[in-house]
Amino acid sequence: MSHSASPAKPLTATACGPLRGKARPPGDKSISHRAFLLGLLSVGETRVSGLLEGEDVLNTGRACAQLGAKIERLGEGSWSIQGMGLGSLLEPRETLDFGNAGTGSRLMMGVVGGHGITARFDGDASLRKRPMRRILDPLVLMGAQVLEQAEGGRCPILLKGTSEPAPIEYRTPVASAQIKSAVLLAGLNALGRTTVIESEASRDHTEKMLTYFGASLTSEPFGAHGRKITLEGRPELTPRKIVVPVDPSSAAFLIAAALLVKGSDIVVEGMMMNPLRTGLLTTLLEMGARIDILDRREEGGEEVADLRVRHSELTGVDVPAARAPAMIDEYLILAVVAGFARGLTRMNGLQELRVKESDRLAATAAGLVANGVAAHIEGDDLIVEGGAGACPGGGLVATHLDHRLAMSFLVMGLASDKPVTVDDETMIATSFPTFKPLMAQLGAEFVA
Ligand code: S3P
């Protein structure tokens, strides 16, 4: 959580027998961050169940407490948030330390930007490298001031918000739910309407949750793949009960492991099926994955389903760039899966991967090559030549403080000829603290 590095903990995955059984991955990270933030912004008690208790989300919770929310853990995944309400936040005395969390820090910049308070934002070495201008630019248009920033608009950042943010119409320069959400959260306190236009639709959890808390918001199609979202400022936000559905980005590792390890047959329970999050599922089905979607139902305002996943013989595919927002965090594990498929997989339009927790485009290609998989980058595309059911393995993968790199290559090691070692497992705790026990429950083996 702080930017002083803790010692690296290498972890090795070795080939295992068939994965069997049922598992329920943890709550969705995006929704969990938003649960704390909307709890802070409404007056009264918000109750959350199924919250992801990963370091990223806990850092957002701590930041909300620094702004005045009273936060209490009632039991596993069950939390109570007593909010301060819109326009009534306290100025934090200490730095808001978001650790590794891009989403928490960027959404909170939106909250602070729309309030008359000043806050310092910081995080670990990974967060300090991530571009924040994309968030600060619209906030400055709304009247916030960036008092201090590291080179290139990076953390540490001292942001002075405004109690009267200007309602703006903003077109996001890249399809990013984080930019969209920061503008909408700042716009909550504006007198008037804030509009965000995105040319590719990104995840819509902020819009759904704001509406659920009583804000007046419209979202309409814009162009071929985009949305235009308009929010009425100064709503009365009413605290609600939030049930957090299973994170498809975490479920992805279990699904991939079952597809790759011979003889596997598992059920992943309660996976969120929001169409803006299921791009990986679409792609895996195109590759020939044996995934049955069972018992579609609603949980906490989202459609969820149980997925029966069996070992499959997969074929390489061309993944269109337009699908990127619906699977932006899943390309790493898809690249690993593609390493076992028959033929070429081409993943198009991955420029945003360069500015995630690490440069995921370069790091994924390097990890594949280190494990004997033919992979290369062409412009912003990643091309992987699969081993038709096999993958050499045997490599040491540099994880660059990136949880998803660690988990993706550990999954590779469960099915590759030789073990795969990741240089540091510690970041897994940011998004999927129960990764190791859940995988072990299905039959996977990791060696420290
Ligand atoms: C997130 C949005 C995505 C995603 C991140 C979570 C969110 O980032 O990569 O892990 O919760 O809004 P971008 O919207 O910047 O692509």
- CATH code for the domain of 328: 3.65.10.10
> Ligand 1 center to residue 135 CA distance, Å?
12
Contact 250, 3 (CB under 8 A): no
Give the integer Cα–Cα distance in Å for 189 and 102.
23
> Could you say which of 219, 243, 267 is where a domain stops?
243
Residue 192 located in a structural domain: yes
> Ligand 1 center to residue 176 CA distance, Å?
6
Residue 328 in contact with ligand 1 by CB distance below 6 A: yes
Ligand 1 binding pocket mutation candidate from 199, 202, 277 (most atoms within 8 A of CB): 202
Q: Are residues 72 and 176 in the same domain?
A: yes
Q: Are residues 63 and 22 in the same domain?
A: no
> Ligand 1 center to residue 294 CA distance, Å?
27
In degrees and rounded to multiples of 5, residue 414 shows phi and psi of: -70, -20
Q: Are residues 268 and 395 in the same domain?
A: yes
Q: Are residues 184 and 275 in the same domain?
A: no
User: Looking at ligand 1, which atom is closest to the CA of residue 202?
Assistant: 14
Which residue has tokens 């412009």?
379
Instruction: Print the domain residue range for 209.
Output: 29-243
Could you count the other beta carbons within 10 Å of the beta carbon of residue 351?
13
User: Looking at ligand 1, which atom is closest to the CA of residue 329?
Assistant: 9
Atom 16 of ligand 1 has which residue's CA nearest to it?
176
In degrees and rounded to multiples of 5, residue 255 shows phi and psi of: -60, -50
Spatial CB neighbours of 130, under 8 Å, sequence gap ≥ 6 = 102, 154, 155, 355, 356, 357
Residue 202 in contact with ligand 1 by CB distance below 6 A: yes
CA angle 393, 399, 404 (to 5 degrees): 90
Q: Are residues 201 and 268 in the same domain?
A: no
> Ligand 1 center to residue 106 CA distance, Å?
10
Residue 144 located in a structural domain: yes
Task: Return the closest-CA partner of residue 244 out of 75, 55, 432, 30.
Answer: 30
Give the integer Cα–Cα distance in Å for 277 and 419.
31
Q: For position 38, what pLDDT does the model report? A: 98
Task: Return the closest-CA partner of residue 178 out of 230, 223, 139.
Answer: 139
H/E element, 301? none
Q: Are residues 272 and 236 in the same domain?
A: no
Task: Return the closest-CA partner of residue 407 out of 355, 359, 444.
Answer: 444
Q: Are residues 217 and 336 in the same domain?
A: no
Could you count the other beta carbons within 10 Å of the beta carbon of residue 7?
6
What share of residues in the chain are helix, strand, coil (percent, to 5)? 30, 30, 40
Contact 100, 124 (CB under 8 A): yes
Q: What is the pTM (predicted TM-score) of this model?
A: 0.97
Which SS3 state, helix, strand or coil, does residue 363 take? helix
Query: Could you say which of 306, 329, 402, 424 is catalytic?
Result: 329
Give the integer Cα–Cα distance in Å for 446 and 448.
7
Residue 184 in contact with ligand 1 by CB distance below 6 A: no
Q: Are residues 115 and 194 in the same domain?
A: yes
Residue 2 located in a structural domain: no
Task: Return the closest-CA partner of residue 334 out of 373, 284, 271.
Answer: 284
Which neighbouring-strand residues pair with 422?
11, 397
Q: Are residues 277 and 202 in the same domain?
A: no
> Ligand 1 center to residue 410 CA distance, Å?
23
Residue type, 414: L
Contact 413, 378 (CB under 8 A): no
Residue 431 in contact with ligand 1 by CB distance below 6 A: no
pLDDT one digit per residue (tens) for the chain, 448 residues:
444 467 899 999 999 999 999 999 999 999 999 999 999 999 999 999 999 999 999 999 999 999 999 999 999 999 999 999 999 999 999 999 999 999 999 999 999 999 999 999 999 999 999 999 999 999 999 999 999 999 999 999 999 999 999 999 999 999 999 999 999 999 999 999 999 999 999 999 999 999 999 999 999 999 999 999 999 999 999 999 999 999 999 999 999 999 999 999 999 999 999 999 999 999 999 999 999 999 999 988 899 999 999 999 999 999 999 999 999 999 999 999 999 999 999 999 999 999 999 999 999 999 999 999 999 999 999 999 999 999 999 999 999 999 999 999 999 999 999 999 999 999 999 999 999 999 999 999 899 9
Q: Are residues 195 and 298 in the same domain?
A: no
Spatial CB neighbours of 438, under 8 Å, sequence gap ≥ 6 = 23, 25, 254
Q: For position 5, what pLDDT does the model report? A: 62
In degrees and rounded to multiples of 5, residue 367 shows phi and psi of: -65, -40
Give the integer Cα–Cα distance in Å for 188 and 182.
10
> Could you say which of 195, 219, 243 is where a domain stops?
243
> Could you say which of 177, 209, 243 is where a domain stops?
243
User: Looking at ligand 1, which atom is closest to the CA of residue 206?
Assistant: 12
> Ligand 1 center to residue 38 CA distance, Å?
17
User: Does residue 292 have an active-site annotation?
Assistant: no
H/E element, 166? none
Residue 45 in contact with ligand 1 by CB distance below 6 A: no
Give the integer Cα–Cα distance in Å for 196 and 172.
7
Q: Are residues 173 and 250 in the same domain?
A: no
Residue 162 in contact with ligand 1 by CB distance below 6 A: no
DSSP 107: H
